[in-house]
Amino acid sequence: MIRPLDGITVVSLEHAVAAPFCTRQLADLGARVIKVERPGGGDFARGYDQRVKGQSSHFTWINRSKESLALDLKQPEALEALQQLLGQADVLVQNLAPGAAARMGLSYEALQARHPRLIVCDISGYGADGPYRDKKAYDLLIQSEAGFLSITGTPEVPSKAGISVADIAAGMYAYTHVLSALLLRGRTGEGSHIDVSMLEALGEWMGYPMYYAFDGAPPPPRTGASHASIYPYGPFQAGDGGTVMLGLQNEREWKAFCDTVLRQPQLAADARFDSNAQRNAHRAELQALILSLFAELTAAQVVERLDAAGIANARVNDMAGLWAHPQLAARSRWRDVDTPAGPVPALLPPGANSAFAPRMDPVPAVGEHTAAILAELGWSAQRIARLQAAPALA
């Protein structure tokens, strides 16, 4: 089986989420990803929690199919090993603290002369220049800077996303930029520099609320789990205590909702509700009406009526519901992936290609592949042992 990135080697100085998420996508497509970690503790995301057989949930999720090379890059000999490795690599990805890679001689400008075909992808909070270039950036801080918190939550309390949306956005843009850089190198023969910022990645995702608030207009209100500008679109409780998520997109669906779900066809022409703008303006009245009717039904009965009307709806699942989701099982989306603590289930990458299956190889232990990688570079067993025995430099 041939995968799209077979033969491509990626070296990554990565930690936490953004860069590891990027490189795992590359590994899924067949790239050899060599993850450079600190000897001993490794990527600090390994210590976030112990939820997966004593291992971190974050780390297990985004570090399969990689090789772990433990190097103390403060040691000159370790930095020499990294430079040797980059001479055989196609891509360098890094999301170290601002300026850290450059201080080690690993900026694109420093590497370009020695490795002209190398693609260098820098992931940071705010980008390589500008007044914020040296600020530390974590996911929640970028959610705040990008205005995400201003539109998420309830009218009383802003809320962060429950997952690392800024990290994931930056990781996905880094991934697609690396793919495009590989295509470009195939035409020019030269590497290139990619500068991805978390702020710009999440800023792109904020396009709708930015334009909604165009030219000083009021921004979308925080409406909890309901849509900020389409109504009814959100969670509604049934009489048995169950919650149904439903969404209407147009006037045809509104009429079907009145006819088949509410069984009050006259509401379709009610002047308070005869357009989305009017329904949105009178959402409190409409919500009370819907809840009073749903109070007489079970959640299953509400779903049955919504399905009959062709109205989109969903269960409000928790994590147990996602693990046991019948659609994921029916489409055979689960595989076992090995880890240092034994196999765990993992979802296949989104999407399926008829020509190849994605890699689903083990999650590595810290430094698991150090000796083998250095031996590939021509290092003797004695030299490898000496490097591994060297004390860490502060």
Catalytic position from the list 15, 58, 177, 227: 227
CB < 8 Å & 24+ apart, contacts of 353-356:
355/2, 356/1, 356/2, 356/3, 356/4, 356/30
Alpha-carbon distance of 150 to 159, in angstroms, equals 8
Identify whether 232 is preceded by a cis peptide bond (ω within 30 of 0): yes
Q: Which amino acid is at 34?
A: I
DSSP E strands in 280-365: the ranges are 312-315, 334-337, 344-347
Q: Identity (one letter) of the amino acid at 272?
A: R
Question: 141-175: buried (b, 16+ CB within 10 Å) or exposed (e) per residue?
Answer: ebbebbbbbbbbeeeeeeebeeebbbbbbbbbbbb
Half-sphere exposure of residue 199, counting CA atoms within 13 Å on the CB side?
A: 16
Sequence-separated (6 or more) residues with CB below 8 Å from residue 313: 244, 245, 246, 247, 302, 303, 306, 307
Task: List 91's β-bridge partners, or say none.
Answer: 10, 119
Q: Which of 72, 73, 129 is nearest to 98 (CA)?
A: 129
Both tokens of 96, joined, read 């170290």
In whole angstroms, give the CA distance from residue 122 to residue 64.
Answer: 21
369 is catalytic: no
Q: Among 15, 40, 95, 12, which Cα is nearest to 393's? A: 40
Token pair of 180, please? 């495009």
Q: In whole angstroms, how far apart are CA 164 and each of 60, 98, 141, 202? A: 15, 20, 11, 11
Mention every residue, 6+ apart, whose C-beta is less than 8 A from residue 224: 153, 154, 234
Active site residues: 227
